[in-house]
Structure 1
Amino acid sequence: MATTTSVEPRSSAVPGSRPRASAPVRFGRWCKELGWRHLVGVVTIVFCVLPLLYVLSASLNPSGTLTGSNDLFSTISGANYGALWSKGFGDWARNSIIVAVVTSIGTVLMGAAAAYAFSRYRFRGRRGTLTGLLLVQMFPQLLAVVAIFLLLINLKDVFPLLSTNSLPGLIAVYLGGALGVNTFLLYGFFNTVPRELDEAARIDGATHAQIFWTIIMPLVTPILVVVGLLSFISTYGEFIIAKTVLTSSSKWTLAIGLYTWASDERNAPWGLFAAGAVLAAIPIVLLTLFLQKYIVSGLVSGAVKG
């Protein structure tokens, strides 16, 4: 008697392989892992771009009011931009550029020299000086505004160039306030440069100045660019100390000049203020875009070894 055996259908799945997820499951997994990040990014972009569009629309509105700019780009005119130069905007922009550029260059040179000394040399009082710089930076420079003002007044008889209502005096104040924090930032980066390079150059007969300028400085270019950019941005838009030191309108910076326009809430020329704010932001944006390749490497590399 013949026996019949039932043959079960073979599964087409490869042994060890997972069953293919359906489309809704894949979409839900994508939303859980990556989709929410795209949503947060879109919301952040909208949150950042809308105020910029509003200011740009207000700068192109010749009516000079913010309430009339609720409808974005309903009126487009360059009258506000043309009127800036007759209001002293050109002098303010020139003063801000001079102060920011000179301060950033001086900050980089002073900070690099101090950081190189602390990183490469061992001398008495080294640790105490580093600790002192750190403690001084715990107190904001704003607390010393009165002392700075009195100091500049007393320096007027000895060094007329470093006095109140002078751009060199303001630059000197900025350089003194930025030395500590930038020294610490550069010090961590200088420690990542091998000392063997210094020793090899010294064996070849190089002096300390040659080692500093031809070997160390090119290797730490990213952090120098970062320090210079941060110094430029901070001094370009600084208001409190600049308002205390500079008294005449011809010596004002952009922060002081734009503040005088917006100080009167009822009669403020908001169109001029918006146009000046748009033009004042251009140097910062261009510098950031041009130097962005140095920013990440300059801020991160110094944290590897300290």
Structure 2
Amino acid sequence: MTEQTAPTLTRGGTGAGGPNETTPDRTRARRRRWWLEVGWKYIVAVAIIIYAAFPLIYTLSAALNPRGSLSAATGLFSDITFSNFAALSSTAYWTWMGNSLVISIATSVGAVIMGACAAYAFSRFRFSGRRASLTGLLIIQMFPQALAFVAIFLMLLALGEVVPALGFNSKIGLICIYFGGVLGANTFLLYGFFNTIPIEIDESAKIDGASHAQIFWRLIMPLVTPILAVVALLSFIATYSEFLIARIVMTSEDNWTLAVGMYGWVSNQLQSNWGLFTAGAVLGAIPILILTLTLQRYIVGGLTSGAVKG
């Protein structure tokens, strides 16, 4: 009888004559598949980061350039000095920033409270004209803001004759105008989030004898904190950087906002001081940066949760 010897298995092989290591063709195939599925995303991400970061870097370079011209800042950080930042103290820059912060904070707080009250009413109560009111708010938001400039001008002109505090060159008047601009969109955003809160919470509180005000302030408001933070942030950013309406309403230099005041530095093409303008823009972005970093954990959760129901 002839003895038959079993094939010997080697480490990494499948039997006699099997490959002991990955072939170059399989390696190239894996690399090709990785580039097609994952690798291209890194390239796109790097391109987006460069595209978004370049204007910021260019602005910072111009702010640190003493020549006060954008053409002189083509060589990034070729000449670094803080003279533009020091020159801001000799202008009304800090007064303008104070005006912008006061107006933006007041608008944010008012938008949160008014929007939350309106959204709670639309979400929890069933009254005559509810659907028509929601549709009206949606339709109003479709029109561009520029259509309201003439109406705003005439309204302030008429109000100023009766109540000067609500006329031209009034912070209160400008805040009231901003309320009307942000209330519609914020109400819809809050309305979607309020619908995600189970109505059983309200019913249980009513059984325990709680009033609508107690339910709203003590139960609902703590539960909708993420969307309140988002609304406050969006309202602050929108009003802090707004220019057109503030330019129409504010007539005296002491009441100018930051955007209106800084526009005067570059409005004259022959005497534009871009170094001073970019230095002011860099410092003016700090409040928005701080607020965004503080509320960033609420932003994604608040926006996505509010988009679940409408």
* Of 204, 210, 221, the match for 1:206: 210
Deviation at 1:250, TM superposition (A): 1.1
Q: 2:242 aligned with 1:241, yes or no?
A: no
* Of 152, 168, 171, the match for 1:167: 171
Q: 2:142 aligned with 1:141, yes or no?
A: no
Q: Corresponding residue for 1:119?
A: 123
Structure 2 counterpart SS, 1:265: coil
- Identical-residue share of aligned pairs (%): 57
2:161 & 2:57 partners in 1: Cα distance? 49
> Are the aligned partners of 1:142 and 1:241 in contact in 2 as well (CA < 8 Å)?
no
Q: Corresponding residue for 2:181?
A: 177
Q: Corresponding residue for 1:61?
A: 65
How big is the alpha-carbon RMSD for the aligned residues of Structure 1 and Structure 2?
1.9
Q: Corresponding residue for 1:256?
A: 260
1:107 & 1:73 partners in 2: Cα distance? 41
Deviation at 1:27, TM superposition (A): 2.5
> Are the aligned partners of 1:222 and 1:295 in contact in 2 as well (CA < 8 Å)?
yes
Q: 2:294 aligned with 1:290, yes or no?
A: yes
> Are the aligned partners of 1:114 and 1:183 in contact in 2 as well (CA < 8 Å)?
yes
Residue by residue, what CA displacement relative to the aligned partner does 1:258-280 show, whole Å, maximum 9, x if unpaired? 21111122320111011011011
Q: Corresponding residue for 1:39?
A: 43
Deviation at 1:6, TM superposition (A): 8.8
Q: 2:232 aligned with 1:231, yes or no?
A: no
Deviation at 1:3, TM superposition (A): 6.5
Deviation at 1:139, TM superposition (A): 1.1
Residue by residue, what CA displacement relative to the aligned partner does 1:20-63 show, whole Å, maximum 9, x if unpaired? 56433333222222111111111111122222111111111111
Which stretch of the first structure deviates more once superposed, 79-88 or 216-225? 79-88
Q: 2:266 aligned with 1:265, yes or no?
A: no
Query: How is 1:35-114 mapped onto 2 (pairs within 5 angstroms)?
Result: 35-114=39-118
Deviation at 1:137, TM superposition (A): 1.2
Q: 2:282 aligned with 1:278, yes or no?
A: yes
Give the letter for the 1:149 counterpart.
F
Residue by residue, what CA displacement relative to the aligned partner does 1:64-86 show, whole Å, maximum 9, x if unpaired? 11121112112111111111121
Give the letter for the 2:106 counterpart.
V
Give the letter for the 1:175 counterpart.
F
Name stretches of at least 5 consecutive residues in structure 1 with no aligned partner: none
Give the letter for the 2:49 counterpart.
I
Name stretches of at least 5 consecutive residues in structure 2 with no aligned partner: 16-20
TM-score (normalizing by structure 2): 0.92
Q: Corresponding residue for 1:221?
A: 225
1:195 & 1:66 partners in 2: Cα distance? 57
Q: 2:17 aligned with 1:13, yes or no?
A: no
1:13 & 1:251 partners in 2: Cα distance? 83
Q: 2:194 aligned with 1:190, yes or no?
A: yes
Deviation at 1:114, TM superposition (A): 0.4
> Are the aligned partners of 1:137 and 1:180 in contact in 2 as well (CA < 8 Å)?
yes
Give the letter for the 1:252 counterpart.
W
TM-score (normalizing by structure 1): 0.93
1:134 & 1:63 partners in 2: Cα distance? 49
**Pairs aligned (count):** 301
1:252 & 1:303 partners in 2: Cα distance? 37
1:20 & 1:224 partners in 2: Cα distance? 56
Q: 2:30 aligned with 1:26, yes or no?
A: yes
1:197 & 1:52 partners in 2: Cα distance? 47
Deviation at 1:157, TM superposition (A): 2.5
1:282 & 1:202 partners in 2: Cα distance? 45
